[in-house]
Amino acid sequence: MGVSKRILITGGSGFLGSHLCERLLGAGHDVLCVDNYFTGRKENIRPLLGHPHFEVLRHDVTFPLYVEVDEIYNLACPASPIHYQHDPVQTTKTSVHGAINMLGLAKRIKAKILQASTSEVYGDPAVHPQTEDYWGNVNPIGPRACYDEGKRCAETLFFDYHRQHRLRIKVARIFNTYGPNMAVNDGRVVSNFIVQALRGQDITVYGKGDQTRSFCYVDDLVDGLVRLMEVTPDDFTGPVNLGNPREFTILELAEKIIAMLGSSSKIIHTPLPTDDPMQRKPDITLAKSALGWEPKVLLEDGLAPTVAFFRKVLGL
């Protein structure tokens, strides 16, 4: 085991954050989980509450925070369209003010800081698959812009702090991730389909269902984040894509989940949302070479514990 560090995770009770808390506690670190519970759930971190090295603070990152830590993982932000479009102004504030506050903290205490960015910075990509040097194709005034542009601005701030203040930064661009601790009502495609199939409801596919996504199991993703934070030398900043390059159409995913559950659900088609990307697939060449990272969990293997989690949550 390496040296024990004090690690702050913003958004620590969210889907990704809760898994990251568990992983870092398991590695022997002191973990401070910060969340305002807008989309994070106390149930996600309940199993960790008795751990002697785990601490929880209710706090909104749009306000400054004064703590002493060695590393910061900045995950705080609603990440599903239903949640980030519910209060778009607050979503932008969380990305931008949150980044400013966490970067300010990192600068004061000389901590290393990682930004959980997103594949949404690529928008509806004109390049496929997406490499880190692609600048993206984003509508700055559309309904998704609060998230897309908020995250793009956060990346800008991270690199300006790096250039101007020599701050040690890491930027991960996270592609579609799934697994236990997802919220039932988050509107993401994996949770939507599983919940609908378990309840025997119609499965709603936007458009023809020929748009593609790449699905990364949460354990693989968390491993990528930790590797990025720990990789030496520190001057490797990213941005680096983290995701599973295996590509599926939305229709394929729906059919796979129906078959897996033996569900009686029928697939129905509804209109495409505004600015919904048609293709999403990471190029992970950089992650492989710089981090020695690539996802290991197949979609079929990751869906099983995810389905089990939703069965328990729904009491089925």
Q: Is 122 a catalytic residue?
A: no
Closest CA to 38 of 65, 66, 10: 10
CA 94 to CA 101: how far, in whole Å? 10
Mean pLDDT, 10 residues at a time, the chain of 316 residues: 89 98 98 95 96 98 98 92 84 97 98 97 92 96 95 98 98 97 90 95 93 94 98 91 95 95 94 79 96 97 97 92
Sorted by where each begins, the domain ranges of the chain are 6-179+217-243+282-296
pLDDT in tens, 72-102: 999 999 887 777 888 899 999 999 999 999 9
What is the reported pLDDT for 193? Answer: 96
CA 212 to CA 190: how far, in whole Å? 13
What is the reported pLDDT for 1? Answer: 53
Instruction: Please state the length of the chain.
Output: 316
Q: 6-179+217-243+282-296 falls under which CATH superfamily?
A: NAD(P)-binding Rossmann-like Domain (3.40.50.720)
Tell me which of 73, 122, 147, 178 is the catalytic residue: 147
What is the reported pLDDT for 84? Answer: 80
